Amino acid sequence: MIDLVRAKGSAAIADQMQPKLLSPDTVAHRPNQVRALRQMMEAVPAQTIEHALSAMRDRPDMTEVLTSIKTPTLVLVGDADEITPPAVAQSMQKKMPNAELVIVQGAGHMSPLEQPAQVNRAIRNFLARIDQSN
């Protein structure tokens, strides 16, 4: 991907990544969201994408740290997320003692863009439960 962005720029990365970021439902029925994501991706300078890809490639695995997170945590994942599939999100949630998992229906990796009402509802409900417990 780094070689691709160096050679062909942001649009080439958008071509590769967009199908992995959005649910089939979004692609089929929400052209405005598809266009918005494409515009955001193409607006990112190629060098910024290169740096982000390098940082992701070089970051250490922090999975073992999850067990030390004691604060209430909300894990949101789209039901069609190919980047961080629901099974991976569920595994993360199980490692955190106070975590809650919400699977957003009809969403891929970009669930706030694809299903904002579901995401907002999940966040509001989570925050309300935290508020009630304090």
Q: Where are the domains of the chain?
A: 1-59, 62-134
What's the pTM value of the predicted model, to 2 decimals? 0.89
CATH 3.40.50.1820 is held by the domain 62-134:
yes
Residue 67 CB coordination number (10 Å): 11
Q: What is the pLDDT of residues 100-131, one digit of tens each?
A: 999 999 999 999 999 999 999 999 999 999 98
Q: What is the pLDDT of residues 32-44, one digit of tens each?
A: 999 999 999 999 9
The residues pairing with 103 across neighbouring beta strands, listed in sequence order, are 77
The distance of Cα 55 from the centroid of its chain, to the nearest Å, equals 17
Contacts of 93 (CB under 8 A, 6+ apart): 73, 75, 99, 100, 101
Token pair for residue 134?
Answer: 């304090």
Phi first, then psi, for residue 67 (nearest 5°) are -65, -20
